[in-house]
Amino acid sequence: MNRHLTLKTLVISVLLGAVMAGCQPQQPKFLHPRGNAQSKYIAQQTKIEYPDECVPSLDDVRNTLAPLTLDNPDPKEEWLLSLDEVRQMALENSKVLRQLSGVNFGPNGISGTPTLLLASPGAATTVWDPAIVESNPSAGVQAALSAFDAVWNTTSSWQKADLGRNYTPSYQDSVGTRSDTGTFQSTLSKTVATGGNVYASAGFGYDWNDANSRLWRSAWTSYVEAGFTQPLFRGAGVEFNRIAGPNAQMGYSNGVVIARINTDIALVDFEMGVRNTLQDIEETYWNLYFAYRNLSAAVAGYEAALKSWRNVSAQQGIGREQGIVQNVAQAEKNYQSFRVSAEEAQSNLYKTEQTLRYMIGIAPSDGRLIKPTDEPTVAKVKYVWDEIVAEGLARAPELRKQKWTVKKRELELIAQRNYLKPQVDLEGLYRFHGIGHDLIDSSNKKSNAFGSMTKGDYQNWGLGITTSVTLGFRREMAAVRNAELALARERAILQEQELELVHNLSDLYRDVERYYRLIEDYLAVLRAARKQVRAVDASFLLNKTTLYEVLQAQQELADAETRYYRTVIDYNVAIVNLNYRKGSLLEYNGVTLAEGPWPNKAYFDAWRRARERDAGKYVNYAFTSPQVVSRGAYPQIQGTDPTVTTAVPYDVQNSQIPADAPETQPFQNYQSTNPVGSYQSGLPEILEPAPNAF
């Protein structure tokens, strides 16, 4: 009994051990373990690493100084800059167009910091963007044109065979068991604008065989062949192939015209990026001007409050009635309030000046403090409503971009309708064939393949039609319907954009007139506030008024001066925004866009191609011209004809551009004769500039 229990206990223990061992992963056993496996084991899959890339930092990044603050308030010198100088420096330093995303200007100063490039670098606009779109190897203009490039294919091969076959000896001798073969073939093919394909091919072959039934054990063959394939319905025509491209897929178009429209859209995006940068530059410049005026008003109030505090303190010292404790406390409180306002205004000035430095593209601090030299306009600008609406509808880049999109959808609809046609292809070929014991015999006395071919002993031709028709056309009809809906959507968006533009122009038109009226009103308030300060000061000295009225008048004078200059800045910004919205901001700032200089090799190739065309025979290609897509170059200066830059001939012998070749730049300046409208006489009296704190 005990023995039976012992055996039973042993079996249970073995089973439990096996079960427990199976519940846990076990490492395999090796015959010769070295004991250092963990030295090559890394207990992680991914980790944060630093890329092996080093892009040199800008000098303005490496050499920047500590920013100006209330504890570090003393710049080494003033840097007087006009608005034109700021624009010029900013555009010269704007390979990447900077924008004030996240920055707001308000009555109390600037708030926020530019973060677009750090947060969304892919959304940045750069001078390379249009060229990147055009040079895209899959969707650019050259990629679309490459579909029509000629293709040269050449193949050659040599083979040897030695086969044993289960034939009777007599039959085996007739079919051969050993052979040497070689082939060479060269074909030049090209897709033409009508959607067809033409080709020319030539080749020769060698064949040696031990079969007794052959005339020659070794023989050569040669051929010259030309042929074509031309679609007659689906995929046919210059228009379809320039829109969709040859061998296009249903629902996708990437022809030359579509690729060019994509480049035009990229150019409009670049233009809008430059426009946005100019708007931010001018708004920042005028707000820096306001920061100086605001600081001046705060400092003037601070000095007046300090003078009043000292005055009542002196009155208290000699026991006069104006020096009561209440007046001294009120004067001290007013002084402390103005001191806080002056410190806030000074800190706001430093921040606004740094923001302007960011837009220029220079270091946040280099020991100099930028000071605007231009004065904002207070002249009345009178716009004609019908003219600005017409100009906005014609020049707004957002509308121009959307019109390119509408044109793109119209062309895509034309291409999709082509797929409703049946696939009918016309094919043809003509071949000269030759065969002989030798490949070439100069005396032409022996049998040779080349001579047989050139004499036309063997000629072949073929002509045929291949047809493929989809019954039902469900996919084709869906593609056409999809293109129609996409076109209807873009047209509706264009109409709503025009409506939204008119509403924006209406608001800005109202703002220009409103801010001018407010300038007149706040100027009157400012004059009255200055008279009030003089009056209450005189009355206080005669003990005819209280100190509270004096301090209140000083505060109201500072507020009136701040509101006046804030309104002047808002008026100038409203003029900028109106030009921004109606599409004339670049002209308003005297900026035009132009293509940058090409490499020397490009001028060389263009000049050589021009000479080739001049020496060749003229051919009228009107039969291949598609429908009108573009109306020509966009006139960047209103009322002028578009300028066309002609390339200067390239010096072929010296391989250098001639000395008089134009040096084009991405940004070109000109002086606008009347950029913003008709000026009328402004205010009868303009205040003298208040003294600046610096």
Q: What is the mean pLDDT of residues 621-637?
A: 71
Tell me whether residue 656 is in a domain: no
Cβ–Cβ under 8 Å, residues 199 and 190: yes
Least-confidence region, from 31-35, 66-70, 228-232, 478-482: 31-35
pTM of the predicted protein model: 0.81
Per-residue confidence (pLDDT) for residue 9, from 0 to 100: 64
Tell me whether residue 679 is in a domain: no
Dihedral angle sign, alpha carbons of residues 598, 604, 606, 610: positive
Half-sphere exposure of 275 (CA within 13 A, CB side): 24
Torsion of CA 232, 238, 242, 243, to 10 degrees: -60
Per-residue confidence (pLDDT) for residue 617, from 0 to 100: 75
Tell me whether residue 159 is in a domain: yes
| Region of 554 on the Ramachandran plot (φ > 0 left; ψ -120 to 50 alpha; else beta) | alpha
Q: Give the amino acid at 286.
A: W
Which of 298-307, 388-397, 606-615 is modeled with the greatest confidence?
Answer: 388-397
Tell me whether residue 133 is in a domain: no
Least-confidence region, from 340-344, 430-434, 591-595, 657-661: 657-661
Confidence band, pLDDT 50/70/90 cuts, at residue 551: confident
Per-residue confidence (pLDDT) for residue 229, from 0 to 100: 94
Tell me whether residue 680 is in a domain: no
Q: Give the amino acid at 446.
A: K
Residues 6+ away with beta carbon under 8 Å from 10: none
Is 90 exceeded by the pLDDT of residue 613?
no
Is 60 exceeded by the pLDDT of residue 381?
yes
Confidence band, pLDDT 50/70/90 cuts, at residue 648: very low
Token pair for 544: 């005819």
Tell me whether residue 529 is in a domain: no
Per-residue confidence (pLDDT) for residue 7, from 0 to 100: 58
Q: Tens of pLDDT along 451-490? A: 888 888 889 999 999 999 988 888 999 999 999 999 999 9
Least-confidence region, from 38-47, 50-59, 223-232, 280-289: 38-47
Is 50 exceeded by the pLDDT of residue 531?
yes
Tell me whether residue 119 is in a domain: no
Cβ–Cβ under 8 Å, residues 329 and 322: no
Q: What is the mean pLDDT of residues 228-251?
A: 89
Q: What is the mean pLDDT of residues 545-557?
A: 83
Dihedral angle sign, alpha carbons of residues 603, 606, 609, 613: negative
Per-residue confidence (pLDDT) for residue 27, from 0 to 100: 72
Half-sphere exposure of 433 (CA within 13 A, CB side): 9
Least-confidence region, from 171-180, 350-359, 459-468: 171-180
Nearest to 348 by CA among 275, 411, 293, 271: 293
Cβ–Cβ under 8 Å, residues 154 and 188: no
Nearest to 358 by CA among 161, 156, 90, 574: 90
Tell me whether residue 461 is in a domain: yes
DSSP state of 28: P
In the chain, how many H helices and how many E strands?
Answer: 17, 16
The proportion of the chain whose per-residue pLDDT surpasses 90, expressed as a percent, equals 40
Is 70 exceeded by the pLDDT of residue 581?
yes
Least-confidence region, from 196-200, 227-231, 547-551: 547-551
Pairing of the two strands 458-468 and 109-111 = unpaired
Is 50 exceeded by the pLDDT of residue 262?
yes
Per-residue confidence (pLDDT) for residue 554, from 0 to 100: 85
Query: Number of folded domains in the chain?
Result: 1
Q: What is the mean pLDDT of residues 165-190?
A: 75
Tell me what the pLDDT averaged over the chain comes to: 82
Per-residue confidence (pLDDT) for residue 641, from 0 to 100: 55
Residue span of the structural domain in which 223 resides:
151-231+423-468
Rounded CA-CA distance 591/275 in Å is 9
Number of other CB atoms surrounding residue 587 within 10 Å: 21
Name the residue with tokens 């073995």. 14
Cβ–Cβ under 8 Å, residues 458 and 452: yes
Q: Find the distance separating the first CA and the last CA of the chain, reported in whole Å.
A: 112
Rounded CA-CA distance 590/544 in Å is 58
Per-residue confidence (pLDDT) for residue 649, from 0 to 100: 36
